[in-house]
Amino acid sequence: MATIPKPVDLILSRFRESLQDDLLSKTEKKELHHLVEDLALTRDNLDYLNNQLFAMAKEKATPENYSFILEWIRQANQALTLRQEAARVAAYFSPGESCRNTIVQQLEHATTKLRICVFTISDDRITDAIVQAHRKGVDVRVLTDNDKSLDLGSDIERLAREKISIRMDNTSNHMHHKFMVTDDKTLITGSYNWTVSAARYNHENILLPEEPGAVKVFLHQFERLWGEMTPFHG
């Protein structure tokens, strides 16, 4: 069974409160709907919530309030229904310049934050863009692999000399992610390594999903790894 995150308990408690008077007001419904969207719940989480709502309603139902309970269930289900929008995903492939150009473009457009979590960085065009973002005041943090940082051509030492915040895994395993979040709103992820050979020779890809929930999940993963990994100062 999927682990139920603690925020789900908050949602359930809010529904229980509304059930006390057999009514889910428009204000309560709107607040709960926004809460569900903000939490970026999984389908398993939503299914769990629906099951709990029906159990709560069944326990509360009596012949006298049955019609009110049915209306409460209808309103509660609407509160849990996320707005369905056509998911838009931009995809780029290598060999060729499209992956590298897209990464550089996102780095250049950053205005507040860059959260970079990649296996290796050895493409000078990408490194130059990271450095320029840092110099113009963007809060740059880099997570990378300790072993790959020792490779000939690695730009991690250069980034450290620029006083960019870097952390590495300190294990025998690899930090093999390849993703970046720009300004807490734009995600780039895929197989593409940030190397010259990836642009020139390798069959790789990156995706830019226009999905706020995906951005939140990747940011959460970044912060978790940032707390676990070892600072690198060059």
Q: Mind telling me the catalytic residues?
A: 176, 178, 183
Burial of 225 (0-12, 13-18, 19+ CB in 10 A): middle
Q: Enter the DSSP assignment of 59.
A: H
Both tokens of 73, joined, read 């269930």
Measured N-to-C along each axis, helices 26-39 and 66-80 cross at an angle, to the nearest 10 degrees, of: 40
Question: Among all chains, which residue has been given the structure tokens 């049955």?
Answer: 66
As beta bridge partners, residue 92 has 206
Sign of CA pseudo-dihedral 121, 125, 126, 129 = positive
Longest dimension (CA), the chain: 77
3-class secondary-structure state, position 114: strand
